Structure 1
Amino acid sequence: MRFTALTNEKAKPNQAIPNDSTLDFINKWGYGTKPQPPLPGNPDPKEPTSPKPSEVVNTIFGERYFEKLDKANNTIKLQGAEFIVRNTSVNPVTALNEANQLVTYPANTLLYGIIKDGQIIGWTNNGAAVTADVAASKPGESKYTITSDAKGKFHVEGLAYTNEINYRKQYIFSVMKIANNNGTQVEVVDHYEYVTAAPRTTETTQAAIDAEIAGIIAKHPGTESGDGAWKLYKESEADPKVIGSNPTEMIDYLGKAINDYELIEVRAPEGYAPIEKAPQDVANGTTEKDPYEHPFKFTVPSMDQGLPNYNNNEETEIKVPNAKIPRIPITGGVGTVLFILVGVGLMGGAYILHRKKEEPNSAKRTK
């Protein structure tokens, strides 16, 4: 049985959010459900005497910081640049849409972020609606855009990681107990113990995992009768409440890229042209159907030797440069007068040369 959960505004970026909820209900007799568990003191070898633990499923989302600046002079910070955020995931994406309905978009769908206060609160695949909304909205008022502030800064959170996440694992062991069941010695589960697995890498083999489990069991053989012996119940993702929510402890390594993020500048600061390409010189991916010419690719979070770098500082803050638009001289300025004088001079010179060429021909005709 699967349940879908949504995070709220209390969830923090770059910290594992465990979904360790349990479902409690009472079985009724005569409805074909599992019978009631035995009363305390009368253990049943088929049923543990303590509740079975559920697996922990972790979720994590990231954030990125950006700085808008002049391409020729990076000390000049640019305010008022407006962006939309796009993503194409190789996996299906379940998210809220514009109508606040939970929908699932197929894999490889081009999605546009719905943004509120710098946070992605949903996604839409309706690119035409996004374009129309941005065009009809005043600067900074579209629900699909984010704008650079007076210091050229803007910040986006609520983004899934660019790469697949391999969470730290934990083992759940059943601690067995030998109990008397109507004169018969039976083995039942007394309680469960949790052990965080050793960090894994892409080179970790199943044989190494099996050896680790066997080593833990060997340290807890129990008594000669088997009382207190440990047995593997299941493997789960590690619970942040046990080892801490620090992502450097919660994440073993990142796998293949599954999300493809882009910034699209829909309004450039006055006097500037839109951004050209990502600083990594990645091909811009423009297609004939793409209404935007210059997608600016970025990753979440930044990468450092295959592991995520969670620091938001000048090293990981993405610089988004804009070049100034070349301008012709302003009417009434000195440049305009000079432009006119040069033009008149060229025209006059051309006229004189033309007259000189005509004079010999006129003389011939006179003779």
Structure 2
Amino acid sequence: MEELIAKKVSDMPPSGIRKFFDVANEIGDAISLGVGEPDFDTPWHIREEGIYSLEKGKTVYSANAGLLELRQEICRYTQRRFDLIYSPTKQCLVTVGGSEGIDLAMRTLLEPGEEVLVPEPSFVSYKPCVVLAGGVAVPIPTREEDNFKLTAEELEKAITSKTKILVLPFPNNPTGAIMDREDLVKIAEVLKDKNIIVLSDEIYAELTYGKNHVSIANIPGMYERTIVLNGFSKSFSMTGWRLGYALGPEPIISMMTKVHQYALMCAPTTSQYAGIEAMRNGDEDVRLMREAYDRRRRVMVEGFRSMGLSCFEPEGAFYVFPNISATGMTSEAFCEKLLMDQRVVVVPGTAFGESGEGFVRASYAYSIEAIKEALSRIEIFVSKHI
């Protein structure tokens, strides 16, 4: 059977996140800081709309691009929250989670051998989606001393005649880094004379601390060449609903819709009705969750620093990315030994690219009590090794 499987699939490594999550499930008393999933229930008024849609028998396919009512609400929300104006009929596609948007963009844009620049450390799905679409993923390492931002200088060096797409994964998973407006202006300056599309993954746009999110599509000259990806999983705690969206230039969105039409048909209808309610009336829910994450963020950063580890202070998402090189262990060894010794799950930085070596990712999408207990156990472990 192995001979029948495509080599690009068999050669693809399994997710480094899931590996430790699966092991933790087999250990009854383990505390997991490994999975990037909100610990809040989907707000009741959003769940209620999904329930009502089922009770009313709204269970048929929607339009391929998504319910028009939802697309209208997405575009109103995007204008209200991020000052971005899109047409709900021509520039908006509802996807099955934000991850489908990544896959659709790659399959729509890439010819075999074309290159996609991927700042790393970053979300595990970008490179596999590039490979499955026949492209070549080119990592651009980001560094702790640069606050894990993509710099214009590193971008300039990575661009070749084959470059087709730049992935812009900010706010970032796993580092929690963000890009300020001045950072994005410098990136735009590099791209202004080049025929490169930006895939801006903004799934954590609502989860920034002390600063408002700025999309690169807001920067002059970038709106016309940017695909914005977002969704409901992180901001509205709707991971299992599998609902996201893509916004961008009409010619690209129409072709992404064509691929989506053949591959998925449409996003789940029940989820779409719940999404309408989230867009209309979910701002307060987002604010409350963001404030809770902010409190946890400060506990987590202080906890790692107090045990003698360097820890970049994240400005977005819900992860910290402490530097564990002082222990003398690789990221993989640190995570394995921590799990066996103290029953705590964190994810090796190398799961997010080679430049993640020397770091681990810990999510603070967990209760304060769980975070404090996990930090206590990690401190015991670290004290033995530094």
Into which bin does the TM-score normalised by the smaller protein fall? under 0.3
The TM-score with structure 1 as length reference comes to: 0.23
Q: Considering fraction of residues, name the structure with more strand.
A: 1
| Higher RCO structure (Cα 8 Å, ≥6 apart) | 2
The TM-score with structure 2 as length reference comes to: 0.22
